[in-house]
Amino acid sequence: MPERILDVENLSVDIPVPSGMLHPVQDISFHVERGETLAIVGESGCGKSLTSLAIMDLLPSRARRTAAKLELDGRDLSGLSERAMADIRGNRMSMIFQEPMTSLNPAYTIGDQLTEALLRHRDASRAEARQRAVWLLEKVGITGAAGRLRQYPHQLSGGLRQRVMIAMALMCGPDLIIADEPTTALDVTIQAQILHLLADLQREFQTGLILITHDLGVVSRVADRIAVMYAAQIVEEGTAEQIFEAPAHPYTQGLLACIPIPGKTRRGAHLGSIPGIVPSLVGRFQGCHFADRCPHAMARCRADDIAMRAGAEAGHRYRCVLTPEETAANMKRMEAAE
Amino acid sequence: MAVTDTAQTARAAGAPELLEPSPGQLLRRRIFGHAGLLIGAVVLVTIFLMAILAPWLAPHDPYDQVLERKLIPPVWFDDPKATWDHILGTDALGRDYLSRLLYGARISLLIGFAAMLISGVIGTTIGVLAGYFGGRVDMVANFIITTRLSMPVVLVAIAVVSLVGSSLTVVIWVLGLLIWDRFAVVMRSATMQVRDLDFVASAQALGCSTPRILLTEIMPNIVNNLIVVATVEMAHAIILEAALSFLGMGVQPPEPSWGLMISEAKGLMFFEGWLIFIPGIALFMLVLAINLLGDGVRDVTAPEGRN
Amino acid sequence: MFAYILKRLGVAVLVALTVSLITFSMIYLSGDPAVALAGENATQEDIERIRDFYGYDRPIIVQYFDWLFRALQGDFGQSHYLKKPVADVIFDRLPTTMLLGLFALIFALTLSIPLGVLAAIRPNSLIDRVALTIAVIGQAMPSFWFALTLMLWLGVYWQVLPITGSSSWLNFVMPAIALGYYITPAVMRLTRAGMLEVLSTDFIRTARAKGLRPPTVLVKHALRNAIIPVVSLAAVQFGFMLGGSIVIETIFAINGLGFLAWESILRADLPMMQAIVLVLSVFYITLTFIADMLNAWLDPRIRVT
């Protein structure tokens, strides 16, 4: 069995728009190991959601996806027909979306929508499907599971609906789950519960989990590895410890300065901000995407496209012209200044 | 962190404020880019001009019966009787069809417009009052609308006309008093949407009188809906009048109502098909033009509604 | 849910009563109903006899309640022209109109719903433009002209269908098409708009992400939601269609309620006229009520609280 449940190389998405060609995802490469949680972090519009849709092949019809490699459990996804893809979706890999309030069909019961997921891909009977649905509902922490099957989505709260979505994603025992901002639309108190639930389930079922979020703080306790995205590119990738202890890319450093991290941020310290706005992703863009907002930008940052380079430790990569020593020095200077 | 110049960055990224056209320019662009709107407007204006200039455009008197010249087919027919003197031929009583068609346009346009005005006033009043005041007023308005919707329009119109007597005025009033329901429904929901917006609340807080609020705050914002419904109902009125005249309960002979012309030709249509084809096409084009115009106005003023 | 039904029923009854009042007072539009009934060549004697027979000399309020009371028992009085009970004549001709309406509805739905769905799946494609063209043409074409044109082409030139009478089901084909075409544009547009809206919702995205096959997503998930307003609209439009059947029935000489209405108006048969308007109105009200109930039943958010 391959080590990696998902292997992505040079994934790009192009969308024709009135003003030209939009490139919301540019040459993304990453992988997810069996049973690990990869968090993809970035601000709104950086392309992280489109990346997940690209993997699932659920992009809008006008969009074009290209990839040098796109493999799920060693199986090539890029050339698959829609029928073959449909056999994989919900089955070998599933997805959880951001808005639980609108992600369920209001005309059918919870039970109907749960069992449907299983019956589509397996030769099970209705009774067996219902049994599994009840078992999973209990696993995701819903009480009175058997009775819930007969309820309609509008009778459940947002948090409950998201739990149902998680259960639905697990119905066929997938190898990979992509969770696109699963807690953003929920109350803060529920957010932590859902995240812990995801982490527990992921560990129990040994599924790979891609957690997409804009909230770096959310990620610190749940992710094994983190990929930071900015303006359609992955700008840094490493283990959670590497990213939080020794961020190499100026953007990541800036992000960490923006959020209070318990144990790291001193009381009374100023929270940073990153001035400027994201560059337009229409048409060709030369050089580093972050150059206009980077405090260390130089002429050569804009000259040519920046490639990923290795960080100080193994498994740590980042997209910058600065060497690991230089970035570490910048980090120290920043921390001292606060 | 060093501070970067945001404006500089924004400009480098192709900042929007340099590229946005004015609202007027946008509207003009949308209008002229919309084929349906333009076609509808052009055809409608043409028919309108033809109707107004009918006394000068019509080659003959539309009421003039010349029985020796009856049932002449239009010029493009391969028939010895066809003549350029009667481009669209003549009917069973020897009346020039082109002339009748031109004068018939007057009837359709007049009735359509007048009925639309009457029903527009009634319906908009009911709708706006119901939408603005809500509560009991709304309940009563809804009841009235539902009652009106429960009555078969054509049947009631025919019955009333048969009892009161048919004339142009009667037809206009009967139609006007019957087709106001869509005005009421649409204006009611449009008013309800606008009523809760902040600028209305601030006008109320300033102590503006209700009529003033209705006229200066609410109406300008629902005028788009009004225009769209007006076109729909004008087309509706035109078709209804044609149907009534077709059944003999509308405009009476010898008036050249297009519906009446079709009715008069009904018995002859198997051999003189053009007699029903020509007025029918005229009706079709007029109503089509009005519908295209209405659709166009709706698209142009609310493009978010389109796919 | 029960309270909802009750409230709707109450409104329906109230509307029906109001309509009955309007329908009843309609005959006074001509001034003296006895004169209208008697006709042109009537003597003063005839008029007085009619006035006496129909009770037009009584106070209006009394007349109304008497008429209403009897109507509720199914007695609509006597047809002046046919010398038969109005109720008998109406219920004799009603099934024909119902049949015509049903055929027309089936035709309309079979044409408009699939077209609307196809147009929504491929917006701005050929099928979308065809669908919209059909809708635009349908809305602009007077039904009586369409009926005559159909009669001309299918009945006379190609001789595939009979043009008058109501003896066999073939007689109903052209009228059904002419009548059904009247509601096709509205239903098609609503289906298309509804499908377009539903297809862009999150739960359709979820259905696709579950790996459900396209037909399942389209019909079981999308159409099931998009069809809800269409059902109400179809029910209401069915009512309008029946009102418009007067034109179609007279053209094709179909012996239904519309034709009867037409004849009785020509003959100034006031009791018959009143009864037909009332019957049709009550039918509309019932249809609207059913449409409301259907709406509630199809949408679990209203049904299950």
- Kindly report, residue by residue over B90-113, the tens digit of the pLDDT: 888 888 889 999 999 999 999 999
In sequence order, what DSSP letters do the residues of C37-58 get, joined into one string?
HH-TT--HHHHHHHHHHHTTTS
Pairing of strands A208-213, A37-41: parallel
What is the rounded CA–CA span in Å between residue C180 and residue C185? 10
- Closest-CA residue of chain C to B248: C266
Q: What number of residues does chain C have?
A: 305
pLDDT tens column, A13-23: 999 988 889 99
Assess whether pLDDT exceeds 90 at residue B172.
yes
pLDDT tens column, B210-257: 788 778 877 888 888 899 899 999 999 999 999 999 998 888 888 899
Q: Provide, as residue numbers in chain C, all residues whose Cβ is less than 8 Å from the Cβ of A155.
A: 304
A56/C301 touch (CB, cutoff 8 Å), yes or no:
no
* Closest CA relative to residue A316, chosen from A260, A244, A262: A244
Which of 228-247 (B) contact C at CB < 8 A?
A: 235, 239, 242-243, 246-247
Backbone conformation region of residue C31, classed left if phi is above 0, alpha if psi is from -120 to 50, else beta:
left
Cβ contact A58:C209 at 8 Å: yes
Q: Provide, as residue numbers in chain C, all residues whose Cβ is less than 8 Å from the Cβ of B153.
A: 240, 243
- Closest-CA residue of chain A to B10: A277
Chain C residues with at least one Cβ partner in A under 8 Å: 201-203, 205-214, 216, 221, 224-225, 298-301, 304
What is the rounded CA–CA span in Å between residue B281 and residue C141? 9
What is the rounded CA–CA span in Å between residue B180 and residue B151? 13
Cβ contact C70:C85 at 8 Å: no
Assess whether pLDDT exceeds 50 at residue B305.
no
Q: Provide, as residue numbers in chain C, all residues whose Cβ is less than 8 Å from the Cβ of B292.
A: 136
Beta-carbon contacts of residue C230 (< 8 Å; ≥ 6 apart):
C113, C187, C190, C191, C194
Interface check for A122 against chain C (CB to CB < 8 A): the answer is no
| Angle CA A43–A44–A46, to nearest 5 | 75
Q: Provide, as residue numbers in chain A, all residues whose Cβ is less than 8 Å from the Cβ of C211.
A: 85-91, 117, 120-121
* Closest CA relative to residue B117, chosen from B223, B225, B233, B204: B233
The amino acid that residue B166 corresponds to is S
More confident: C165 or C53? C53
What is the rounded CA–CA span in Å between residue C2 and residue A293? 62
Interface check for A20 against chain B (CB to CB < 8 A): the answer is no
Distance of CA B125 to the CA centre of its chain: 19
* Least confident piece of the model among A259-263, A327-331, B85-89: A259-263
A276/B4 touch (CB, cutoff 8 Å), yes or no:
yes
What is the residue-averaged pLDDT of chain A?
88
ipTM surpassing 0.90, yes or no?
no
* Closest CA relative to residue B168, chosen from B112, B105, B236, B251: B251
What is the rounded CA–CA span in Å between residue C249 and residue C172? 10
Interface check for A143 against chain B (CB to CB < 8 A): the answer is no
Interface check for B282 against chain C (CB to CB < 8 A): the answer is no
A120/C213 touch (CB, cutoff 8 Å), yes or no:
yes
The amino acid that residue C169 corresponds to is W
Q: Provide, as residue numbers in chain C, all residues whose Cβ is less than 8 Å from the Cβ of B247.
A: 246-247, 250, 262
Cβ contact B183:B122 at 8 Å: yes
Cβ contact C138:C158 at 8 Å: no
Strands of chain A, DSSP E: 4-17, 20-33, 37-41, 64-66, 69-72, 75-76, 93-96, 176-180, 208-213, 225-230, 233-239, 309-310, 317-318
CB atoms within 10 A of CB B81: 13
Lookup: tokens for A282: 């229409």
Pairing of strands A208-213, A176-180: parallel
- Closest-CA residue of chain B to A258: B1
Assess whether pLDDT exceeds 70 at residue B9.
no
Cβ contact B112:B57 at 8 Å: no
B280/C142 touch (CB, cutoff 8 Å), yes or no:
yes
Is A34 buried (19+), middle (13-18) or exposed (0-12) by CB count in 10 A?
middle
pLDDT at residue number B174: 94
B284/C142 touch (CB, cutoff 8 Å), yes or no:
yes
Residues facing A226 on adjacent strands: A39, A238
C152/B269 touch (CB, cutoff 8 Å), yes or no:
yes
Cβ contact C215:C139 at 8 Å: no
* Residue carrying the six token digits 């609308």: B145
pLDDT at residue number B16: 47
pLDDT tens column, B268-283: 888 888 888 999 999 9
How far, CA to CA in Å, does A150 sit from each of A254, A267, A317, C238?
A: 48, 50, 49, 35
- Closest-CA residue of chain B to A270: B1
Nearest-Cα distance to chain B for A248, in Å, is: 16
Facing C277 at nearest CB: one of B152, B243, B270 = B152
Interface check for A272 against chain B (CB to CB < 8 A): the answer is yes
* Closest CA relative to residue B228, chosen from B185, B166, B259, B183: B183
pLDDT tens column, A193-231: 888 898 898 888 889 999 999 888 778 778 999 999 998
pLDDT at residue number C114: 93
